[in-house]
Structure 1
Amino acid sequence: MIKGIKVMLIPNNKQRSNLFQCAGVSRFAYNWTLEKQKYNYKNGGKFIKDKNLRKEFTQLKKIEEFKWLNQYSNNITKQAIKDACDAYNKFFKGYSQFPRFKSRKKSSPKFYQDTDKIQFTDTHVKLEKLTVSRKKNRQKFNWIRLAEHIRIPYGEDIKYVNPRISFDGVNWWISVGVECSENDEFPSNEGIGVDLGVKDLAICSDIDKPYKNINKNKKVKKIKKRLCRLQRRISKKYEMNREGSSYKKSCNMKKLENKLRKINLRLNGIRHNYLHQTTSEIVNRKPMFIVLENLNVKGMIKNKHLAKSIQEQSFYEFYRQIEYKCLWNNIKFIIADRFYPSSKTCSRCSAIKKDLKLSDRTYICPECGLVIDRDKNASINLMKYGQLAINQ
């Protein structure tokens, strides 16, 4: 089993400059490959394999104009060429759109590291050829500090898969796959039905207390208020610096945009952290199965009154985390049919209340008289759906 781990890097100023340079080398190799493929196709040529392009790129480094490429790891350019060929090939197979050239301003800086050359310790990671000097004091630039200690396992027996370094606009990150032994334990506890909503994030069938909506927290509301003020401030700056149909961006505007980027990242970090805490808590109860309903999020967003609240809940991210955490723990992950009436069905007598409205937060059964919270009723029905799915 391969587990993906992503950790923030804390580079110094020199390392930060070198990381941007490595990302620029990767972008150059990607664009060079794409240009070669396009030119070859226009002249009636066939698809050029990446191994042939890598050989040609090696010869390119010998030219005086491109000798600067020798200062950086050749694994960065090799993988960039391979990525460009894969993207180009996928377009002709109908899997994706035609690959675009990477822009220095718009594309996110990222590059690849070789699995054999990368090294980890408790606190640092060693990247290949950040500096070409062999002096000990200069070699220290190759070791970059990790924000989280002892997060990534290391040793002779550890195998790493596809290490990538990326920049999100504020911080540098390293993501790497680590081969781990599979879990042999199969949980036998009662299954859990999970009903997702806007009022509360998740309501589970096995506990009475719901997982609250983090966006209603005072801390998040305060950050969102600050975000709105900063957006209005930037918008006014743009209108002031308008020159016809274009805008003149000043240094102060760039500073404000950087602040805006930091606040957005902080807000997303709080939401994703809460989702991880919630999903881990559900999975750690070791149920036999977990059932989620297949929500029509695209249709729900069309409601202008609820669109923003639904987007902030990040339902897709919740599904994704539950799915891979179930896979790690040998828990069966079941998605209920979209048209299964989990909210309208009575969890005691299975009668269906067809006139149930979205504003009705309490479910009152017309047949047996059951009075229960609407979302709790839906979660119990989802749990029963999972039991039927396993028994079939």
Structure 2
Amino acid sequence: MIKSIKVRLCPNNKQLTKLFQYAGCARFAYNWAIAREQENYKQGNKFLSDNELRKEFTQLKKQSEYQWLSEVSNNVTKQAIKDACNTYKKFFKGQCKYPKFKSRKHSSPSFYQDNIKIQFSDTHVKVEGFSMSKKKNKQKLNWIRLCEKGRIPTNCKYMNPRFTYDELHWYISVGIEVEDSTTIPLNNGIGIDLGIKDLAVCSDGNIYKNINKTTTVNKLEKRKRRLQRSISRRYEKNKKGGIYCKTCNIIKKEKELLKVTKRLTNIRQNYLHQTTSEIIKRKPSFICIEDLNVSGMMKNKHLSKAVQQQCFYEFRKQMEYKSAWNNIPVIIADRFFPSSKLCSCCESIKKDLKLSDRIYKCECGNVIDRDYQASLNLKMYGENVLKQQSVA
């Protein structure tokens, strides 16, 4: 099993310059490879492999106008060309859209490091080629400080190390191979009903509230709206003809808005991680969740923002990979399974149940919260699926 770890970096000014230089060279190599493939296709030739393109790129670097490419580690540009060829292969297989050129303004800067030459200590990561000098004081430039101490283990094999920038901070992400879990959990299974009123209602009685209704998130959302209006007014004020001019004050305001948006994202992501980890720690024998039609739910103009803020897809993704780490099967209920409309006692379906009906009342006398009943029905669905698998 491969676990990926992502840690924020604390580079100094010289290291920041080098990081952006590496990312710029990776973007240039990627765009050059795509342009070369397009030119080759127009001429009616066969697809160029990454080995052929890398040989051409090596000859390109020897030209005087491209000498600046030699200041960057060779592995950075090689992997960028390989990534471009891989996107073309995925396009031919129908796994992605047609490859596009990376924009200097809109694409997020990132680059690859050689998994053999990269080194980690408890507090620092060594980047290849920042300083070629053998002097100790200049070798320090290669070592970038990590924000979290001892997060990435040392003296092990690393896979696909990548440096990425999210418009505020630089991060290092790396894959590490760990042993598969062999323990089989024997506790009762859990059905989880996701919703907007509460994030998740579990069949064992645990309820995880909606983090977006807290005062902290509401204050940040209000601040975000005010900053957006302020930036919009400044753009209109500095408009010259049909062109919008970006002033220094607008850049400051946009950076402030970016920090608020990032803060909101971090709060939601952290809450999702806490919720999913808490469910996994109870070690259920299985977990059953719904296959929600999120894209269809987003078409409802009254609920689209609330659905977007709940991050249902991220919740499901975290549950799946954390369950795989702990050897817990995840059962995805059919999209058309009537989890809320089905009575948990007599199994009759109430077809006229509205979204505003929060309490389920059945003719058999069953009166229960609709979300809790949905979680009980999902638990029963999971038990039936496991029985069928054991019989087969």
Give me the TM-score of the superposition, normalised by structure 2. 0.97
Q: Which runs of structure 2 are paired with 1:16-35 in the superposition (5 Å)?
A: 16-35=16-35
CA offset digits 1:173-199 (Å, max 9, x no partner) = 111110101111111111000000000
1:285-296 alignment runs, 5 A limit: 285-296=282-293
| Residue 229 (structure 1) aligns with | 226
Q: Aligned letter for 1:85? A: C
**Counterpart-to-counterpart distance in 2, 1:85 and 1:303:** 39
Q: How does 1:196-235 map to 2 (within 5 A)?
A: 196-207=194-205, 209-235=206-232
Show the counterpart of 1:175.
173
CA distance in 2, matches of 1:61, 1:8: 32
Q: Distance in 1 between matches of 2:381 and 2:143?
A: 52
Write the mapping of 1:325-344 to structure 2, written as runs, cut at 5 A: 325-344=322-341
Q: Who is 2:353 aligned against?
A: 356
Amino acid at match of 2:381: Y
Q: How much has 1:294 moved relative to structure 2? A: 1.1
Question: Contact (CA 8 Å) 1:40, 1:46: kept in 2 or not?
Answer: yes
Q: Could you tell me how far 1:264 is from its partner in structure 2? A: 0.7
Counterpart secondary structure, 2:66: helix
Q: RMSD of the alignment, in Å?
A: 1.1
What residue is the counterpart of 2:251 in the other structure?
Answer: 254
Query: Would you say the 8 A contact 1:20–1:109 is kept in 2?
Result: yes
Give percent identity, aligned residues only.
61
Q: 2:12, 2:273 → 1: CA distance?
A: 30
Q: Is the 8 A contact 1:71 1:132 kept in 2?
A: no
| 2:188 paired residue number | 190
Say which SS state the counterpart of residue 292 (structure 1) adopts.
strand
Equivalent pairs counted in the alignment come to 388
TM-score with structure 1 length normalisation? 0.97
Mapped to 2, the partners of 1:197 and 1:146 lie a distance apart of: 37
**Larger mean Cα displacement after TM superposition, 129-138 or 115-124:** 129-138
Q: In 2, are the aligned partners of 1:193 and 1:204 still within 8 Å (CA)?
A: yes
1:281 match: 278
The equivalent of 2:64 in structure 1 is 64
Structure 1 window deviating more from structure 2 (89-98 vs 273-282): it is 89-98
Give 1:151 deviation, angstroms. 1.1
Match of 2:379 in 1: 383
Cα distance in 2 between the residues matched to 1:371 and 1:315: 28
Gaps of 5+ in 2: none
Q: What is the match of residue 138 of structure 1? A: 138
Could you tell me how far 1:33 is from its partner in structure 2? 1.1
Question: CA offsets per residue over residues 324-359 of structure 1, 9 Å max, x none?
Answer: 111111101001111111111121222222221111
Offset, 1:297? 1.4
Task: Tell me how far apart the structure 2 counterparts of residues 210 and 136 of structure 1 sit (CA, whole Å).
Answer: 56
8 A contact 1:120–1:152 mirrored in 2: yes
Do the aligned partners of 1:353 and 1:366 also contact (CA within 8 Å) in 2? no
Q: Deviations over 1:218-252 (max 9, x none)?
A: 11111111101000000101111223332111111
Give the CA deviation at 1:68: 1.9
Structure-1 separation of matches of 2:288 and 2:281 = 15
